[in-house]
């Protein structure tokens, strides 16, 4: 079940593909966003994607470099532990890239603003 984009409560209701609970649909109307706000959100999401991609590229390079060192001559537990750690780091970095892609896609396709960015704009 999806979580409401505003209050993070589980809901089956969607509005234009965006999960939203009944309470939030009856809440006060949203403040209209300006083109400047949309541009800023787009910039932030693209920067987050670029940063996640850079980290994933570095993790991929580290993993590839480790694989070229095999056999390393290290004793059994240490050698496999290094491989598992590098693989885990690469997997986590790729998940972050996919999450950043998803956030940008949802914003571009349906105008869905990620919850953390909505909170930032409300605090300002």
- State pLDDT tens for residues 34-57: 667 888 999 999 999 999 999 999
Q: What number of CA atoms fall less than 13 Å from residue 30's CA on the CB side?
A: 14
Alpha-carbon span 22 to 15, nearest angstrom: 11
- Asked whether residue 100 carries a pLDDT value surpassing 80, the answer given is yes
Q: What is the pTM of this model?
A: 0.68
| 17 vs 60: which has the higher pLDDT | 60
- β-partners of residue 18 are 15
Q: Between 30 and 17, where is the model more confident?
A: 17
**For position 63, what pLDDT does the model report?**
94
């Amino acid at each position: 079940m999806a979580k409401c984009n505003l209050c993070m409560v589980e809901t089956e209701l969607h509005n234009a593909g965006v999960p939203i609970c009944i309470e939030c649909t009856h809440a006060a109307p949203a403040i209209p966003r300006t083109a400047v706000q949309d541009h800023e959100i787009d910039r932030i999401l693209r920067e987050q994607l670029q940063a996640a991609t850079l980290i994933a590229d570095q993790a991929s390079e580290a993993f590839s470099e480790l694989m070229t060192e095999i056999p390393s001559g290290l004793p059994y537990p240490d050698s496999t532990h290094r491989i598992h750690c590098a693989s885990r780091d690469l997997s986590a970095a790729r998940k972050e890239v996919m999450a950043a892609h998803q956030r940008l896609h949802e914003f571009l396709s349906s105008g869905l603003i990620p919850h953390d960015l909505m909170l930032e704009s409300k605090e300002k």
